[in-house]
Amino acid sequence: MSHAGSALLARVADKTGLTGALSAALAEPGLRAGSHDRGSVIRDLAVMLADGGDCLADLGAVGDQAALFGPTASTSTAFRVIDRIASTPGLLDALRGAHARARGRVWELAGAPSRLTIELDATLIAAHSDKEGAAGNFKGGYGFHPMLAYADETGEALAGELRPGNAGANTAADQVAVAEQALAQIPAAHIENIDLLLRVDSAGACHDLLDWAREASIRFSVGYDLTETIRVAIEQIPDGDWVCSLDQDGAKRPNGQVAEITDRLDLESWPDGCRVLVRRERAHPGAQLTFTDHDGHRFQAILTDQTGDAATLERDHRGRARVEDHIRNDKDTGLRNLPFRDFEHNRVWLEIVRLAHDLICWTQRLLLTGELAKAEPKRLRYRLLHVAARLAFHARTATLRLQASWPWAGELAAAFARLKALPAPAG
């Protein structure tokens, strides 16, 4: 069998209750006997994308190995399932609800975070044909501009909304809609006990978004434009007010300093308690300075309503760079290519990409340890998911036999053992 390790993903979907939740949410009355379960079809599509596929035809990588993955729908059947979700009011929300229920199950098994940072970001996806909703973007390209949300502490994909290429990165209505989707993905049993933080780049420095966050009792940390007022305030900071910036492990950085300029600005139009922190650092060797850089330094500003020392808050805000890794990995997990002509079909595809993202994330949290628990999808595919094995049958029992000399055979066998030990979902 090829891609033997990808069976982990399908089994994780079953053990976390994702398959069952999808089946219940997408149940189709009057479906003839012998038809493929609609939830299993979506699960198989998510497994295919997590395995590295990027179009509907790649479902054959799962379907051609029925002995390992079970009966799999044809591409035409899979498309009909996507078409039904896209054309039936409420079904896309039902799919998202099934995703949220499975997330609650994972948090029961792996533990819930005490703090959750919702990372909002938009990205550009090129379209190489005239697809519905594709439009020119601010970089001169053509395609789509989805808004996405991730959970920093758990690495999960919380929400996403497909938008035309000419949609603005700082469109507050879209940001609020995706942030509300993200909140709906947090299990109800935990949402009251989790400290929530909304983290966005400078596109998040808009009043409607931050007013929404304040009303929802969510702290925020967003980038702040270096206006002329900010630059004048920075130039007035005494040298003694600058403190050393920190690395993510808390060590002092050799290049970088942080200061607060809240008392030098008029912030009455922003929510009460807002602070503005600035960081300066020397340009790296070979970097091209601009006319707005001052005294050989580059500057960044942050608007936040959090309490705490400036260096720690600035360090935490820099952690939002991890959202770029999530987006890059998702583009290697089906997001780079939106395969359909119709906009609503591609919206469903985006939701399946999010399922694929979380299947990988949940497999790592529940079954893997060490380096593999943090590996990016490309490395995970090479080491585990695409491993070949022999599926042997004896006395009505199927046994997956791995090549003992493969360097990560032990880790894969241990992951299957941990999977077997997980309790089955209720119902």
Q: So what's the pLDDT on residue 289? A: 64
d(CA 267, CA 148): 28
Beta strands 195-200 and 219-224, pairing class: parallel
- In this prediction, residue 294 has a pLDDT band, given cuts at 50, 70 and 90, of low
Tell which residue, 413, 343, 383, 417, has the closest CA to residue 167: 343
Q: Where are the domains of the chain?
A: 4-94+339-421
pTM of the full predicted structure? 0.94
User: Tell me: the pLDDT tens digits for 310-366?
Assistant: 999 999 999 999 999 999 999 999 999 999 999 999 999 999 999 999 999 999 999
Residue 357 burial (10 A CB sphere; 0-12, 13-18, 19+): buried
**Which residues on adjacent β-strands are paired with residue 220?**
198
Residues whose CB falls within 8 Å of the CB of residue 29, separated by 6 or more in sequence, listed in order: none
CA–CA distances in Å: residue 210 to residues 101, 194, 196, 264, 417: 28, 19, 13, 21, 46
Question: Amino acid identity of 272?
Answer: D
Q: How far is residue 156's CA from residue 359's CA, in Å, rounded to a whole number?
A: 9
**11-23 confidence digits (pLDDT tens):** 999 999 999 999 9
Eight-state DSSP code of residue 165: T
Mean pLDDT of the chain: 92
pLDDT tens digits, one per residue of 104-152: 999 999 999 999 999 999 999 999 888 999 999 999 999 999 999 999 9
